[in-house]
Structure 1
Amino acid sequence: MKVKEVADLVCISVRTLHHYDEIGLLTPDEVTEAGYRIYSEENLENLQQILFFRELGFPLKRIKEIIHDPSFNKTEALELHKSMLMKKQEQLNQLIDTIDKTLLNMKGERQMSDKEKFAGFDFSSNPYEAEARERWGNKAVDDANTKLNEKSQKEMRQFQEAFNETFRSLAEVRHEDPTAAISQERIHEWYVLLNSFGNYSKKAFKGLGEMYIADERFTKNIDQFGEGLAVFMRDAMAVYAEGLKK
C-alpha cells in the first residue's frame, strides 16, 4: 500500500507516517524509483503495534526501542495491550458512572456521598512498582519495601545520600563507553547499593535500567545529575547484566 492509502486506512496523517519513517520507527519495506513509500503487510502489523503503544501513552522513543528489540514478541505484546486496555476500560466505565451519578445529584434526583464523587479516580499507585511487580513478581519489590520501612529517618537520609553520591559518581563517567572498565566499576557499585535493600536479579537490574528511559519523569530525575546519565546507566546496566550471566 502507498503512504496515502495507509493514512486513509488508519485515519492518521501522511505527515505522521513520514515522521515515523524519518525517526526509524516504521520504515516501509520498499521505496519506488519515484520515491513512493510502499508498505507491506508486516509494516501494517508493526504500525498496529505502534498505535497500541501510543494509545497507552508510550513515547515514540520508547516504542522504537521496544519493537526493534530482537526479543520483542508480538503475541506477548498484544496480550499485554489487551490486559492494560481492559484495566483502562474498567476505570473509564467507573468514571462515566460517577459522571451519571453527579448529574443526577445536581438535578436533585439522588443524593451522592463524598466517596461516590471521587469513584474512578486513582492517583495512589506507583507506576514503577506496578511495572516491577508485573515483570518480575512481588518478592523483589516486597523485600525492598520491607527493608526500607524498617529504616529510621537517620538511616533513610544516609541511604538517600548514598544514592545521590552514586549518581554523581556515575555522572562523572557518563561520556565513557558503557562497556569500559570504569563504567562497569561504577555500575557495579550501583548494583551493590540496590541489592542492599532489595533482591535484584540480572533480569530485574537490566529491566530497571530500561525503565529509566521508558518514563520521562524517571529520566528527568536522573539527568539532574548530568544530561544523558539515564541513557548511559541503561546501557551500562544492560552490559553488566549480560556479564552476570557468564
Structure 2
Amino acid sequence: MTPRPADGTAATDGLTVGAVASLAGVTVRTLHHWDAIGLVRPSARTTAGYRLYTAADVARIHRVLVYRELDVPLDRIADLLDAPSGDATESLRRQRDQLRERILRMERMVAALDRIVEARNTGILLNAEEQVAIFGAQWRPAWVAEARERWGETGQWAQYAERAAGRTADDWRSITTDVEALNADLAAARRAGVRPGSDEANVLAERHRASIGVYFDCTHSMHVCLGRRYTTEPGFAAYYDGFEPGLAGWLRDVIDANARAHGVDPESATWR
C-alpha cells in the first residue's frame, strides 16, 4: 500500500514522517528535530508539497542511529556523515578504539559487581584454608556464614561485602596484623591498670572503633552496642579474655567512657 501523508494526498515517491518513525524506531518529534538541525532532511515531496523521505534519506537515518548507539553527539554525526571518505574512516577508527575502551571498562565493572555479589553471599572471598592461614588456627570459617545469617540484611553487611569484594589475601593479612597489635596493646593497658576515660584509654577506644570501621562505618553509639556484646555473649568474652583475664569487661568500660566523652550516653545508646 502506498503511504499517505497527513492531508490524505497520495505519496508519489517516499515515506511520510510517521512511516519512517515507525520503521526506524524513533519518534516523529525526533525526526522533526533532525530535520530542523539539518541532520536528516526529507528530500522528496508529495504533489501537495508535503515532504517525504526517500530510500537514501532512510539509509542516512540508520547511519545516524548507529552513531547514536556509540554515543556520538549529533553535531559530530553530521560531520561524519558529510565528511570525505578518508576523514570519516579515520574518525570511525577512533570511535572504534573508544568503544573498545568502553567495553573494557564495562567488563571491569561487571567483574567488580560479580565480586560484590559473591562477597554478599559468602562474606569473604577466601577459601577455608586461606582464612585459617591468615586469621589463625582458632579461626572457624563457619563464623562468616553465621554472621551473614545474623546480619545479612543490614546496611552494615552491605558495606562489609562491598569492602571485602575489593580485598586481596594480602589486604586481609594487613588487617589481621593491625588487629593483633591492637589486642596486644589493649591487654597491656589492662595489665598496666589504665583507667577507662583516661586519654590513653580513649586513644585505644578510637583505635578499636577504627578497627571495626575497616568493615563498616561504626558510630560511637554503635560502638557501645558492640561493647555490650563483649560481656554478654560468651564467644566475645572468651575471645578478649583470652588475651588478658577481665579484658572484655575493661574494654566495654573503655568504650562506654570514650562514647560519653563524645556526647553519647552508654545507657541509652542504640544501633545508629
- Specify the structure having the higher radius of gyration (Cα): 2
Instruction: Judge same fold: TM > 0.5, yes or no.
Output: no
TM tier, shorter chain? Answer: 0.3 to 0.5
State TM-score, norm by structure 2: 0.40
